[in-house]
Amino acid sequence: MTAIVEATPEPVIAIGKVYGAGVATAFNGVDTGFAKIGLPYVRWATDANWAAGAGQRTNITIQNVGADLVEGDVILIDYVGPEGDIKGTHTYTVGAAGLANGAKFNSDPSKAGLTEFGIYGSTYGGAAIIHTAVPGAQLTAVARVSTQISPGALISEDYNSQLVP
């Protein structure tokens, strides 16, 4: 289902749609993106902590809102710890089908080889920096931070990426 929402003179805010088991998001409500964006609150609990409801997991949807990206273009998702150091990187290489305007792909810290992220004993903090060297690329992202309260039942909140200068 789609809709066009207009308002005069007030601005309009686009809200995403949740589907599947509550871990996937999609929307094309952003009119411009950037080649380097950030998500400041990212966590990834171990399997045991996730199953026990003792930790959060963040699923990320990265969407192309600019010109089509072509086979071989690379997008990097750096998972950054509280001290600013990169703990792992998910390298996404655009396949033969390309990544058209409106198309998306998903990431999470496990795709960077991390079994736990953003949780360091009593210290918390983790972020994702998404970037590409493709000239003129326009990316946006939505992060869904979830806690499992019982098997298959989640409490989640979404937020949008921000430009990283």
- pLDDT, residue 1, reads 43
Long-range contacts of 15-19 (CB under 8 A, 24+ apart): 16/142, 16/158, 18/144, 18/156, 18/158
Residue 107 near residue 23, CB atoms below 8 Å: no
Checking if the pLDDT of 26 tops 60, the result is no
Checking if the pLDDT of 12 tops 80, the result is no
| Summary mean pLDDT of the chain | 88
DSSP state of 45: -
Q: What is the pLDDT of residues 142-162, one digit of tens each?
A: 999 999 988 888 899 989 999
